[in-house]
Amino acid sequence: MRPLFAFVAFVGVPLWTTADEPKKPDYYPFTKGCKWEYQVAANGMKIDAAMEVTKSELKDGKRYFTIETKVGDTSTSEELQADDKGIYRTSFNGIATDKPVIIMQYPPKPGTWTQKVKLLGQDLNSTSTAKESVEVKVAAGTFTAIPIEVKAEIAGQTIQGTTWYANGVGIVKQKMDIAGATMELELKKFTHGK
């Protein structure tokens, strides 16, 4: 389950605002201290998971973030960046990709994009499709969210799934299938940072 959740965190997971910036759509809040609590179901097991923004800074017109994730006894970290065109993952557990991985294009709207990056020396080829907003009901409540479908291939394995992003909250739900192993994540609680 650890490798499954770690890869899901890398592929599926993050837009940004701070108190002194104009209000923008915020489909993945990155204020320091933002925290998400999830219930994860995988391989017949249920386990709690938590994600928290531990670092957020602005430089050269881009916002940079660090997110720490805990699933049971396992901790991971990832680095992301955001600008006016979208949000990107740049490294996972200190290992950088050769170029940023697009998580969500900004402003969010229906459309498809493909990308090819290197991760741990392997080619990661993916196709992502943002859909129209839908209503999603999870333990934390009912949200209007944008589903983004991802299909990726790395090291001969196929990964596919959908992540639902709600404005002002971030990821509220995720379903993934990695080489026949399934995982579902559901938001239980979101606490905004300060």
Please state the domain extents for the chain.
Answer: 2-191
Beta strands in 60-110 (DSSP E): 62-71, 74-83, 86-92, 95-105
> Which pLDDT score, from 0 to 100, does residue 92 have?
85
10-residue averages of pLDDT along the chain (194 residues)? 41 37 66 94 90 90 90 90 87 86 89 89 91 97 96 89 94 91 94 88
> Which pLDDT score, from 0 to 100, does residue 9 have?
42
> Which pLDDT score, from 0 to 100, does residue 24 have?
66
> Which pLDDT score, from 0 to 100, does residue 11 have?
43
Q: Tell me which DSSP letter residue 22 carries.
A: P
Could you give the CA distance from residue 132 to residue 102 in angstroms, rounded to a whole number? 18
Contact at 8 Å (CB) between 30 and 80?
A: yes
Note the pTM of the prediction, 2 decimals.
0.83
- The CATH number of the structural domain formed by 2-191 is 2.40.360
Could you give the CA distance from residue 29 to residue 169 in angstroms, rounded to a whole number? 6
